[in-house]
């Protein structure tokens, strides 16, 4: 069956991305909530002030009331959040961190559940073919199929099997997060994860068979297994290795110290993913493998009902989960689908940018709070002076812009994203 557009697996995943993007509630900033109250309070105080001075000194009532209305400045209050956010996003961009909006910074400022993809996120994404069990015929047929895919494992398979002539593959179909099927030299060929082969009727679970023993050897070595089947029968195992990023442990330790819970969601075999627990200092129970794109989406949706969830990934497999999370973060080298779904993008390889993003978000929230306090403090003092009759309207007109200038200076002199 030939499928195109929205009917393809990628098309369906992108539809999930769009659905979740539309469901997201807009950010309700603290400044917006305060502005309505601020205007109402100022009008009430102006009425009280006019009545008080009309009773005690009618000739000064209008002057003091006008001074109060002039000196009360909602501008600084309204500028407190957007200026701090704009300055922070600009600074983040110069540090290789692209953020789509202020809501992202607000969400990342408070700890929650951080879920990471494995390949390309926690690892270098430089998969290497480290072992092969099977015939040369099966290997050549697998290479013919893998040459038609852009997946990182497919590229590694082809790069590690450069010897010999390249066969031609026909009727190639790729299942996202699973594997490839097609025909090579008249034979039906499957290349993919153990679960992908099992779904297509290949028997792998019979104890003592060559297929089961070979899979155990690949997993015991901590390698990612990719199986090959010819005409419905197992024909070989390829074992792939991908080193962890050098900064992965330090970055995750820094995030845990800030109160974040950390888990791993991966399409790789559960035992390969569980092997990450020790070098990363994670609980094996939170390192979940064998997850399809739909599995990742369901896990994120379930977790998001109970707490703030941030998802970090780089592939088409992660796109729907990135969209479903409160904040989705795509890492360097990510697929276009993941970039479209993500709220932030790290342009530099490694996870150091992730820790800078979280730390910068907290600092940005601190700048917003400082701006709000400066604005409220100015208005409290200014309104008090006007009500006490100590402020002339001309002086109030001179003081009024100072509050806005103070907020502008506070926002652009802050360094929420300092040089590394």
Q: Are 240 and 153 in contact (CB under 8 A)?
A: yes
CA angle 300, 301, 303 (to 5 degrees): 65
Strand partners, 111: none
Catalytic status, residue 117: yes
What is the longest distance spanned by two Cα atoms in the chain? 104
Q: Are 368 and 30 in contact (CB under 8 A)?
A: yes
Residue at token pair 């909602």: 74
By CB atoms closer than 10 A (0-12, 13-18, 19+), residue 147 is middle
Question: Which of 30, 20, 98, 62 shows the shortest CA–CA distance to 309?
Answer: 20
Question: Which of 344, 326, 345, 364 shows the shortest CA–CA distance to 24?
Answer: 326
What's 122's DSSP letter? I
- List the catalytic residue out of 19, 117, 278, 283: 117
The C-alpha atoms of residue 81 and residue 102 are separated, in whole angstroms, by 9
The C-alpha atoms of residue 15 and residue 47 are separated, in whole angstroms, by 55
The C-alpha atoms of residue 4 and residue 382 are separated, in whole angstroms, by 65
Q: In what order do the strands lie in the sheet with 179-184?
A: 128-134, 233-241, 224-230, 187-192, 179-184, 169-175
Beta strands in 274-343 (DSSP E): 287-288, 309-313, 327-330
Q: Which two tokens stand for residue 144?
A: 């013919």
By CB atoms closer than 10 A (0-12, 13-18, 19+), residue 231 is exposed
Q: Are 71 and 386 in contact (CB under 8 A)?
A: yes
Which residues are known to be catalytic?
117
């Amino acid at each position: 069956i030939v499928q195109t557009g929205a009917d393809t697996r990628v098309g369906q995943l992108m539809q999930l991305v769009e659905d979740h993007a539309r469901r997201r509630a807009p950010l309700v900033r603290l400044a917006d909530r305060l502005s309505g109250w601020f205007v109402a309070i100022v009008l009430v105080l102006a009425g009280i002030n006019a009545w008080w001075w009309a009773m005690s000194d009618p000739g000064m009532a209008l002057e003091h009331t006008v001074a109060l209305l002039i000196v009360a400045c909602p501008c600084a209050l309204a500028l407190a959040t957007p200026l701090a956010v704009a300055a922070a996003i600009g600074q983040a961009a110069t540090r290789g961190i692209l953020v789509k909006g202020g809501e992202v910074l607000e969400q990342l400022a408070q700890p929650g559940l951080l879920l990471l993809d494995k390949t390309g996120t926690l690892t270098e994404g430089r998969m290497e073919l480290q072992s092969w069990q099977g015939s040369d015929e099966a290997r050549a047929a697998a290479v013919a199929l893998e040459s038609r895919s852009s997946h990182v494992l497919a590229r590694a398979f082809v790069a590690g099997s450069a010897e010999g002539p390249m066969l031609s593959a026909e009727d190639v179909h790729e299942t996202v997060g699973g594997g490839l099927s097609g025909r090579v030299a008249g034979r039906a060929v499957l290349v993919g994860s153990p679960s992908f082969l099992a779904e297509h009727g290949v028997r792998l679970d019979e104890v003592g068979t060559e297929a089961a023993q070979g899979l155990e050897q690949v997993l015991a070595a901590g390698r990612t297994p990719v199986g090959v089947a010819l005409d419905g029968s197992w024909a070989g195992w390829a074992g792939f290795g991908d080193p962890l990023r050098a900064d992965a442990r330090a970055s995750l330790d820094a995030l845990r110290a800030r109160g974040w819970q950390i888990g791993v969601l991966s399409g790789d075999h559960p035992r390969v993913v569980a092997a990450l627990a020790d070098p990363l200092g994670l609980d094996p129970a939170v390192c979940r493998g064998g997850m399809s794109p739909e599995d990742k989406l369901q896990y994120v949706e379930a977790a998001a009902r109970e707490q703030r969830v941030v998802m970090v990934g780089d592939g088409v497999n992660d796109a729907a989960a990135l969209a479903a999370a409160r904040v989705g973060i795509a890492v360097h080298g990510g697929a276009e689908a993941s970039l479209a779904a993500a709220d932030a993008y790290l342009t530099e390889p490694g996870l150091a940018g992730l820790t800078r993003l979280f730390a910068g978000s907290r600092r940005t929230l601190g700048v917003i709070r400082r701006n709000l306090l400066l604005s409220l403090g100015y208005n409290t003092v200014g309104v008090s002076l006007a009500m006490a009759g100590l402020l002339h309207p001309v002086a109030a007109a001179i003081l009024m812009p100072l509050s806005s200038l103070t907020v502008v200076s506070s926002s652009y002199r802050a360094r929420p994203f300092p040089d590394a």
